[in-house]
Amino acid sequence: MRMYDIIKKKRDGFELSTEEINFFIKNYMSNEIPDYQVSALLMAIYYNGMNNRETADLTFAMRDSGEMLHFEGLNGLRVDKHSTGGVGDKTSLIVAPIVASLGVKVAKMSGRGLGHTGGTIDKLESIKGFKTDIPLNQFIDIVNDIGICIIGQTKDLAPADKRLYALRDVTATVESIPLVVSSIMSKKLAANDDCVVLDVKTGSGAICKTLEDSTKLASIMVDIGKKAGKNMMAIITDMDRPLGRNVGNSLEVIEAVQTLKGAGPEDLTEVCLVLASAMLNLAGYGDTETCRKMAMEQITSGKAFETFCKMVERQGGDASCIRDTNNFEKAKYTYTVLAPKSGYITYMNTEDIGIASLLLGAGRNKKEDNIDYSAGLILNKKTYEKVEAGEAMVTLYTNKPEAIEQVEAKILNATIIEDEIKDERPLVFKTII
Ligand code: URA
């Protein structure tokens, strides 16, 4: 078998066999196939796609490129939740403690920010002292004791994804459904949870911009998870507007704390309740309506917030920041972007809002860049809300005053204000099981 022939076959629109896909992953991982040939194959996949069988084969080959986690000694059903990536998406910080406070085990491995989207691990690391590189045996102990622990991905988990992702990032082949599916699902299957709820985003801030593509992405991921024996559900939620008002690492932790205390923004609270009830439902706690009430009760009783505090303490974090969010370090400079005219915000390009936060210092331009945890922005006004000309629309937080002018222009360019709202997108589109 030759890599050249595999590239040619996919270039010409033909289906790859299981053996060919296994050959490609195995020999790439043993450095027998160079990056330039893999780049060519990725581009051929980007243009010609893969059918569901090929996508499943690629996922399983990538999963098997490293170790599968086995949670010997962990008591109880493990349920995970994974988002395909968004702006202001801090749902894991809220949903995980809600379900853990009800007895579900959340042994979660999360990622860092990617492109214009934020990552749970970066957000948690904005809490002083919080450790995300905990050894596996300690990770299991913490989950057994308090029901929840969130760490970064271990390097042995689906290592083929790490290499392929880095190549996709520099060859303009990230936005390909089979490549996104295999990237996410190889890691989820290697992490080996019992149940997985996928939050598949759709809209201008998501990888899949259209509902049609997001539906396709969700359906294939659910099918592959089921094939591997997992209890799966996908929920398609809106990412044509940032979720909540805060974007940026410690700003998002602050908003997560407000939401865990029952004082969060309506859209964020709603998406969290939908995801938490889906996780509880998969774990056998009853129908989604009953589970939603249970999730809500964990917020109003303060139990979900207490579980979050326990997790922060057990993972070495300074819980005083969580109990009083004024203790978070603040950015040196703030700047207010004013509404240029009166009316309703009918659209805010969400990818641009994510990039604005990144330019203020909240994300990385290169893998090795440091993050400024205090940087980001707060949307005082957001999509579908009324503004008056000259009113504070967005507040910027940064330690890079030189970025402010460019960021202000980006936000104003990304925002459309009209006299009326013509149609409002739903927050939750559909569930796929
Ligand atoms: N998240 C991933 O882990 N991989 C992708 O390809 C996209 C989002």
pTM of the model: 0.91
Residue type, 159: P
Q: Is pLDDT at 408 greater than 90 in this prediction?
A: yes
Q: Is pLDDT at 186 greater than 90 in this prediction?
A: yes
Each residue's pLDDT tens digit, 285-298: 999 999 999 999 99
Of the chain, the end-to-end C-alpha distance in Å amounts to: 38
Nearest atom of ligand 1 to the alpha carbon of 174: 6
CA of 63 to the centre of ligand 1 (A): 14
From 112, 180, 186, 221, mutation site for ligand 1 pocket: most ligand atoms within 8 A of C-beta: 180
Q: Which residues contact 406 (CB under 8 A, 6 or more apart)?
A: 359
Closest Cα to atom 7, ligand 1: which residue? Answer: 180
Task: Select the CATH number that applies to the domain covering 329-418 from these four: 3.40.228.10, 3.90.1170.30, 3.40.1410.10, 3.90.1150.10.
Answer: 3.90.1170.30
Protein fold of 79-323: Pyrimidine Nucleoside Phosphorylase; Chain A, domain 2 (3.40.1030)
Q: Is pLDDT at 240 greater than 80 in this prediction?
A: yes
Q: What is the pLDDT of residue 114?
A: 72
- As a whole number of angstroms, the distance between CA 217 and CA 379 comes to 29
Q: Is pLDDT at 65 greater than 90 in this prediction?
A: yes
Give the domain ranges of the chain: 3-49, 79-323, 329-418
CATH number for region 3-49? 1.20.970.10
How many other CB atoms are found less than 10 A from the CB of residue 284? 12
Residue 187 annotated among the catalytic residues of the structure? yes
Burial class (CB in 10 A: 0-12, 13-18, 19+), 266: exposed
What does the longest C-alpha to C-alpha distance in the chain come to? 66
Q: Is pLDDT at 115 greater than 80 in this prediction?
A: no
Return the higher-pLDDT residue of 77 and 218.
218
Residue 183 annotated among the catalytic residues of the structure? yes
Residues flanking ligand 1, CB < 6 Å: 84-85, 180, 183-184, 207
Please report the beta strands in 308-375, taking only residues with DSSP state E, as ranges in sequence order. Answer: 333-338, 343-348
Helix (H) or strand (E) holding 416: strand 415-418
| Residue environment code for 216-248, b if the CB has 16+ CB neighbours within 10 A, otherwise e | bbbebbbbbbeebebbbbbbbbbbbbbbbbbbb
Mapped onto helix, strand or coil, the DSSP state of residue 309 is helix
Q: Is 329-418 the same fold as 79-323?
A: no
Task: Of 118, 153, 125, 124, give the one whose Cα is nearest residue 139.
Answer: 153
Q: What is the pLDDT of residue 66?
A: 93
Q: What is the pLDDT of residue 367?
A: 64
Residue type, 415: T
Mapped onto helix, strand or coil, the DSSP state of residue 347 is strand
Q: Is pLDDT at 330 greater than 90 in this prediction?
A: yes
> What six digits make up the tokens of 181?
């599916």
